Amino acid sequence: MATHNLIPKQIHEPTEDPIDTVDLLDDAGVIEALGSETARQILCVLASQPTTATKLTEHTSSSLQNVMYHLRRLEEVELVEETGVAYSEKGREMTVYRSTTESITVEVEASMDTED
């Protein structure tokens, strides 16, 4: 299905430029969600522009099923969210996704209690 002529119905733009800090011990879900190259590619594409899952298949050379799996995982850890609706050339309604962050910092703290 071609999606190059998407007509946005409603797209919500972020109000700020968020930067997320991920703690390796407390945010294991984020690290796990980003463990796949496909998930990282999806996040990078969405950080530059909101788009549909179908369009993401072109950017990742991945199946729609695989893209949807990673989108769900990224949504669960709040790195991606639905932002609107677009229509394909055939008039099918498609969800538009966007990244909730422009940058992720992984923080490794040396202040852990290391008593022997």
pTM for the structure as a whole: 0.73
Angle among Cα 4, 91, 58 to the nearest 5 degrees reads 30
Q: What is the pLDDT of residues 88-99, one digit of tens each?
A: 889 999 999 999
Q: Hey, what are 111's tokens?
A: 């202040």
Return the amino acid letter for 45. V
Q: What is the pLDDT of residues 22-32, one digit of tens each?
A: 666 667 788 88
Q: Hey, what are 42's tokens?
A: 């999806």
User: CATH code for 17-107?
Assistant: 1.10.10.10
DSSP for 55-116, written as a single string? HHHHHHT--HHHHHHHHHHHHHTTSEEEEEEEE-TT--EEEEEEES-SEEEEE--S-S----
What is the pLDDT at residue 30? 85
